[in-house]
Chain A
């Protein structure tokens, strides 16, 4: 009951601070967690390094698909439509949004990787609380990267939908 009360106060405080554009404070970690972080600092670092590697692979694979969709599908179709005097405003808009979202996605990934590297350079054995605070920051940045993949996936599906509309008009 007490735990629920603390959580509710935390959520309300976070919402108030967000309204005024202030970052929410990091929820304090328990002594048990601090102990775990200090004791298993090496293992936590190893897990983070594994994650960094798997993220790099993910970025290489998924990033290639985004590049192919933009360079091999979206852009050439618009160029060909213009050449045939059939420019489509919705398809051009989708190209602009896809292109910008992809740029933002890459930038958010670089930002996330930088903060992850800073976290890896941090001594969690000596300062477990600060380490956890930094970890929360990395989690927020990872969420922005994940949101980028959701947006790009939606835009790729939007392209299919718009081309089907174009096909119906031909």
Chain B
């Protein structure tokens, strides 16, 4: 093997090692920062049915600028109450019951 060929091989190997190292560091940071638990694109954590673009409604956003009067506030309240009602529709989110002995199938006399 020529000197140039050997150097090229060393460069290739070093590049692979460097890529593996940086990828590993990135994955450790991704995991330890907790981003992994908030990343909805993570395989296995997507909703069963993906929402099509047509189903996504335009979200109301209150403008940061402009005058303030009763009519503006009325419209604001109407839209805010829709969001609050949506929250109310979640019955007991993250309930303790989902992790109970019965739900997990751990039954037996204490």
Q: Which residues of A contact B (CB under 8 A)?
A: 3, 27, 29-33, 35-37, 40, 43-44, 47-48, 51, 53-62, 65, 68-69, 71-73, 76-77, 79-81, 83-84, 86, 106-107, 109-111, 113-114, 132, 135, 138-139, 142-143, 145-146, 149, 152-153, 156-157, 159-160, 163-164, 166-167, 170
The answer to whether A33 and B79 touch (CB under 8 A), given A62-B87, A153-B87, A167-B70, is no
Closest B residue, CB atoms, query A33? B108
10 intermolecular pairs with C-beta atoms under 8 Å apart: A29-B108, A36-B107, A57-B45, A72-B59, A72-B61, A72-B62, A83-B64, A86-B68, A146-B96, A149-B90
* 20 more A-B residue pairs beyond the given contacts A138-B99, A146-B92, with a C-beta to C-beta distance below 8 A: A29-B110, A31-B108, A33-B106, A51-B98, A55-B94, A56-B40, A60-B40, A61-B90, A62-B87, A65-B83, A71-B61, A72-B61, A73-B83, A77-B76, A80-B64, A111-B34, A132-B106, A142-B99, A153-B87, A170-B70
Query: Judging by beta carbons under 8 Å apart, are A32 and B108 in contact?
Result: yes
Q: Which residues of B contact A (CB under 8 A)?
A: 34, 37-38, 40, 44-45, 47, 59-70, 73-74, 76-77, 79-81, 83-84, 86-88, 90, 92-96, 98-99, 101, 103-110
Query: Judging by beta carbons under 8 Å apart, are A135 and B62 in contact?
Result: no
A146 to B37, CA, bound (A): 17
Q: Which of B60, B99, B106, B110 contacts A37 (CB 8 A)?
A: B106
Query: Judging by beta carbons under 8 Å apart, are A163 and B76 in contact?
Result: yes
Query: Judging by beta carbons under 8 Å apart, are B80 and A163 in contact?
Result: yes
A101 nearest CB across to chain B (Å): 13
A132 to B103, CA, bound (A): 14
Query: Judging by beta carbons under 8 Å apart, are A156 and B103 in contact?
Result: no
**Secondary structure at chain A's binding surface: helix, strand, loop or mixed?**
helix
Query: Judging by beta carbons under 8 Å apart, are A57 and B47 in contact?
Result: yes
A126 nearest CB across to chain B (Å): 16
Q: Which of A3, A54, A68, A164 contacts B110 (CB 8 A)?
A: A3
Closest B residue, CB atoms, query A59? B38
Query: Judging by beta carbons under 8 Å apart, are A33 and B110 in contact?
Result: yes
Closest A residue, CB atoms, query B110? A30
